[in-house]
Structure 1
Amino acid sequence: MAKYVPDGKTQRWVIIAPQRTVRPHDAAPAPNESKCPFCNGNEAATPPEVYRAGTGDKNMPGWQVRVVPNKFPITDIHEVIIHSPSHTDDIEKLAVEQVSRILTTYRDRYRAHDRIRFLAKQPPMS
């Protein structure tokens, strides 16, 4: 499991998670590539969802926002929130209703875990 250790160079605490070394390091798939686990229709490629906004059955298409456990977690609670079936779109391009669903999802997931004290977004890869 992950552990917190001090970084001697930056004087900040960092997380060391050895189990993440087995995660894939390939470049992100193209937005419409059928192998992308986060695209609508590829629900079987992710762990079972823990939350969804939208219609349809659990772990099936029809969702508007979907939450799944991270396959390579850093901590014991590490979820991936998929903002929309068009998950590669920037949030400013989404409809107001979709942004509202996203914010509601973050709120609901935060409330579902009483031990969570902060949320983090992974920065874009350069």
Structure 2
Amino acid sequence: MAERAPADPPDIPAMRETAQILLDPDLLALPPAAGELDTLTQAARGHMEILIPEVEQAAGKPAEHSVPRYCALACVGEARGKLRAEPGHGTGGTLGYAQRLARVLNALCDHYEKIGGRS
């Protein structure tokens, strides 16, 4: 994956594509190979690490007591918790963990776009 310059906006379409792959209902019937799942999981984690500070910065723009701001910051907290978590043997194992990351990544993308992140 190419290093992104600090002035470049996040690649939201690529982030959404990664999330979409992980959330594809067909993955439950035909899970990816362990190496492919690990690559997708790491991509989702990397996207989240890029997007979290961007959403935080964008959340500073709306009025201090705005609902979109609070929602975006709550999502950031949830995303940080998911990044600290480790895939477990229960609750879907590594695929379940990757899908939880993908759902939070999608939400971060939504908040970034709704609260006027850089484009």
TM-score by length of structure 1 reads 0.29
The structure with more radius of gyration? 1
Structure with the larger RCO, 1 or 2 (CA within 8 Å, 6+ apart) = 2
The structure where helix makes up a greater share of residues is 2
